[in-house]
Structure 1
Amino acid sequence: MRVIAGAWRGRRLVAPAGEGTRPTADRARQTVFDVLWHAPWAGRQVIEGARVLDAFAGSGAMGIEALSRGAAEATFLEKDPAALAAIRSNLRACRAEARGRVVRADATAPPPAPAPSGLVFLDPPYGKGLVPAALVALSAAGWIGRDAVVVAEMGAQEDPARPAGFAIADDRVIGAARVLVLRCDR
């Protein structure tokens, strides 16, 4: 696994050992950022200078990719100790500790946000219906900003259910994953 583009292009990232974390494949990450970069409803301004939330962060690859491409800061929500160690290691490897905040928390019961994020990544375990629950909880805790773009990854066969206040901007299957891009329309 590596950073695809930006300041840290080619930098190798570590993933936590074991089966508890399923890092987003390089190909899927490239597709997500291409969609965000080039979509008429998104563009560079969605990434560059953005406050990013990487929930169910795992290795932190999505948030680190956003930082590499010009995001101002990223917060990584994760509850697994091995994943938290991997995120911290990856931030150190990129010398990005000052721009990355690691928070031990469950994305379905998060602490209050210090500020809302304009770009949010959700990559929960597949098949557990966690995307809608996390969207509701993160919104209630102030993590998802007005007009935010949310990228949610789930199993290819999962229903793209979403709570009120979110509109589907893009929906595609990439290998075993369904990547749903939502716009917060509240």
Structure 2
Amino acid sequence: MPRIVAGWAGSLQLAVPPDGTRPTSDRTREALFSMLEARDAVDGAAVLDLYAGSGALGLESLSRGAASAVLVERAPRAARVIRENVARLRRAAPAPLDVRVAQQAARAFLAAPGGAFDLVLSDPPYDLAEADVAADLVALLPHLTAEPLVLLERSVRSPAPVLPDGLVLERTRTYGDTAVHLLVRG
């Protein structure tokens, strides 16, 4: 079972959906959040966790000081597990949490107005078509603050993401079979 790696909820165990998700490993999450914290990108951030799965990325951000998080997951079983994990985190929290679970497809969530996010954690299924990933990035643009960071997880075997005008690739890091693309405003 994955766990919250660090912050006030460090070591809190998280449930995972029985199938259909590919949770980011604790080791990869630790490396990602070390990179983000070195950039001071988590503390006080408004976070969007797209394709949330178990919610581990968004919940990790809250444990490390994010101001708020929206976790988007369309699969009913996975959304139910996320709600359970949010309840666990709320019980452990030193103060009330600003966290919301949106049970809907990423594109449907992004089609609605509202929300300005500083940090976006996007971990779509590896088999999601690259055209769909590109369309999601286009739909994401109106939801970003002036200086956002977008982490896009893909398989190392996937082609480089097709980026819309307004986002540029700053760097790519690999962790085993996972490539994490760090995108910033261009």
**Same fold per superposition (TM over 0.5):** yes
RMSD: 1.5
Corresponding residue number in structure 1 for 2:151: 151
Corresponding residue number in structure 1 for 2:17: 16
Corresponding residue number in structure 2 for 1:120: 120
Once residues 185 and 58 of structure 2 are traced to their aligned partners in structure 1, the CA distance between those partners, rounded to angstroms, is 19
Corresponding residue number in structure 2 for 1:109: 108
Q: Which has the higher helix share?
A: 2
Aligned AA for 2:7?
Answer: G
Once residues 98 and 5 of structure 1 are traced to their aligned partners in structure 2, the CA distance between those partners, rounded to angstroms, is 17
State the TM-score, normalizing by the size of structure 1.
0.89
> C-alpha displacement at 1:157, in angstroms?
1.2
> C-alpha displacement at 1:88, in angstroms?
0.6
Corresponding residue number in structure 1 for 2:66: 71
Aligned residue pairs, count: 177
> C-alpha displacement at 1:32, in angstroms?
0.7
CA deviations over 1:139-175 (Å, ceiling 9, x no partner)? 2xx3222221000000111112222211112201111
> C-alpha displacement at 1:36, in angstroms?
1.2
> C-alpha displacement at 1:78, in angstroms?
0.9
1:15–1:86 contact (8 Å) kept in structure 2: yes
Match of 2:47 among 28, 52, 60: 52
- Percent pairwise identity: 37
Corresponding residue number in structure 2 for 1:80: 75
Unaligned ranges ≥5, structure 2:
none
- Structure 2 matches for 1:84-95, cutoff 5 A? 84-95=79-90
> C-alpha displacement at 1:79, in angstroms?
0.4
Corresponding residue number in structure 1 for 2:7: 6
1:2–1:10 contact (8 Å) kept in structure 2: yes
Once residues 132 and 170 of structure 1 are traced to their aligned partners in structure 2, the CA distance between those partners, rounded to angstroms, is 17
Corresponding residue number in structure 1 for 2:185: 184
> C-alpha displacement at 1:17, in angstroms?
0.6
State the TM-score, normalizing by the size of structure 2.
0.89
